[in-house]
Amino acid sequence: MTLGQATQRLLDAAAAEDFKALEEALVARAEAIAVASPSELAASFEAGEKVCLALRSLKLRLGVESARLARIQWGFAMGGRRRPNIDCRG
């Protein structure tokens, strides 16, 4: 697999949020980097930046979903009851 193919596979896996495919694509890209020529490495630098951006975006989405699920879980733990709103201002 070429470096370009491995990078595209990685981007596709990140977009699909398929973690098994993401792991396999990361291994494939690392193997492709190990055997790439210096000119291929220089050409793939921008693609690597795109991969980094895609992984950051995935991390952000996971953080948002994690917070949303925590709020849902907290709501179930409270039994649907809200905390009383006490205004201490006179």
Residue at 57 is within a domain: yes
* Residue 76 pLDDT class (50, 70, 90 cuts): confident
Count of domains forming the chain = 1
* Residue 81 pLDDT class (50, 70, 90 cuts): low
- Beta-carbon count within 10 A of 44 CB: 20
Residue at 86 is within a domain: no
Residue at 90 is within a domain: no
Residue at 89 is within a domain: no
pLDDT at 72 over 70: yes
Residue at 33 is within a domain: yes
Q: For position 23, what pLDDT does the model report? A: 95
Any alpha helices (H) in 1-90, and if so which ranges? 3-16, 19-35, 38-43, 45-77
Contact predicate 10/50, CB 8 Å: no
Name the residue among 28, 23, 3, 27 with its Cα closest to residue 13: 23
- How far, CA to CA in Å, does 7 sit from each of 11, 25, 68, 84? 6, 7, 31, 52
Residue at 28 is within a domain: yes
Range of the domain at 41: 3-77
pTM of this structure: 0.70
